[in-house]
Amino acid sequence: MAPLQNDRLLRALLREPVDMTPVWVMRQAGRYLPEYNATRKRAGSFISLMKSPSMAAEVTLQPLDRYRLDAAIVFSDILTIPDAMGLGLYFAEGEGPRFERPLRDAAAIEALRLPDPDRDLRYVLDAVAECRRGLAGRVPLIGFSGSPFTLACYMIEGGGSDDFARVKQLMYGDPALMHRLLDLNARAVATYLDAQIEAGAQAVMLFDTWGGMLAAERYQAFSLAYLQQVVSSIRREADGRRVPVIVFTKGGGIWLESIAGIGADAVGIDWTVDIAQARRRVGGQVALQGNMDPMVMLTRPDVIRDEVARILEGFGPGTGHVFNLGHGITRFTPPEHMSVLVDSVHELSQAMHARG
């Protein structure tokens, strides 16, 4: 494959020196871009778009053609593994992802089998490979998966939830069965991420979307332990260089020290965390990724630039920071505001790295 022309992201994730802070955003290939909406319309549905390697690669590259981003992230969904396990993923209009066959009893959990990525998730691996070819070394490609616990939440509830009552009933009422499901998910996630790395992903990210709603000791036992299982078992080198691993628990700021201790290279933080404090707490152990509130992107260019400056100053001089939003970019973001964000990060951070 083509040599990497911009390895700023990989270097920052490994806390190596960079000339400026790298920036990418979660959901950067998405509905705020008119070209994405045109491709999705052509595909007919989100599922059809996601399961077409050529179209998935097309939308992955769209923001790179528009903005000076430092990474691409393969266009996919966090719930591909449960779908490959036979739960029947679909998207209801206005409701988000849902499963046709959620896990409603012990027999359903016991019947689950590990998916084979080469067979059951081939469309993702083909998309990864096609993205790498299309990028031609411009920037690194990030692969990803939902975390074992977040996958379990959707698998049990059948979709999103306000209170995750079914998940918590199982967790408190039959913890052994819940652990059995989480162990299966962790093995599936590790195998899946390994396959993405083999197909061409140069960094990988674990999205623990729902771990932050757990009580502290339950987070440690039911989410963090399985994140650690994944991190400790996936491949960490490809193409002669380290493959960085990013872990992001939304709402997990109170557990930063614990998250930093599981062996990942970087920890994502949301906007509820003060980045200066986060760096003091864990910055000597891991890189940090984040953490601007996505709603800032709905304001004005001067407000965006000021908030970028505040976060960069909060992190301070030196390496180990990847600028990102604290969650995914909203579909209502004016596309020109992404240019403001990316350019501001690059321009304002150069002096910080000269000082570092």
Residue 324, strand partner residues: 291
Domain boundaries, the chain: 8-355
How many Å apart are CA 68 and CA 95, to the nearest integer?
A: 33
Q: pLDDT value at position 328?
A: 96
What is each CA distance from 248 to 69, 134, 174, 291, 326, in whole angstroms? Answer: 20, 27, 27, 11, 10
User: Closest Cα partner for 335 from 32, 28, 38?
Assistant: 32
How many Å apart are CA 115 and CA 117, to the nearest integer?
A: 6
Mean pLDDT on 38-53: 96
* Residue 332: pLDDT over 90: yes
Q: pLDDT value at position 338?
A: 98
Q: pLDDT value at position 160?
A: 87
DSSP states of 262-279: TS-SEEE--TTS-HHHHH
pLDDT digits (tens, 9 = 90+) for 288-324: 999 999 999 999 999 999 999 999 999 999 999 999 9
- For the chain, the average pLDDT equals 96
**Quick check: is 279 catalytic?**
no
Which member of 27, 132, 138, 218 is catalytic? Answer: 27
**Quick check: is 36 catalytic?**
no
Question: Residue 135: which pLDDT band, with cuts at 50, 70 and 90?
Answer: very high
**Quick check: is 174 catalytic?**
no
**Does the domain spanning 8-355 belong to CATH 3.40.50.300?**
no
Which member of 31, 122, 180, 187 is catalytic? Answer: 31
What is the percent of the chain where pLDDT is above 90? 94
Residue 322, strand partner residues: 289
* Residue 199: pLDDT over 70: yes
How many Å apart are CA 283 and CA 213, to the nearest integer?
A: 24
pTM, two decimals, is: 0.97
Q: pLDDT value at position 48?
A: 95
How many Å apart are CA 113 and CA 187, to the nearest integer?
A: 11
Cis peptide before 37 (omega within 30 of 0): no
Q: pLDDT value at position 356?
A: 60
Q: pLDDT value at position 239?
A: 87
Which member of 32, 36, 67, 154 is catalytic? Answer: 154
pLDDT digits (tens, 9 = 90+) for 138-190: 999 999 999 999 999 999 999 888 889 999 999 999 999 999 999 999 999 99
Which member of 77, 120, 208, 270 is catalytic? Answer: 77
- 218-249 b/e (C-beta count within 10 Å ≥ 16 → b): bbebbbbbbbbbbbeebeeeeeeebbbbbbbb
Which member of 8, 11, 40, 138 is catalytic? Answer: 40
* Residue 53: pLDDT over 80: yes
User: Closest Cα partner for 204 from 142, 263, 121, 286?
Assistant: 142
Q: pLDDT value at position 96?
A: 82
**Quick check: is 138 catalytic?**
no
Q: pLDDT value at position 93?
A: 72
Distance, first Cα to last Cα, the chain: 33
**Quick check: is 98 catalytic?**
no
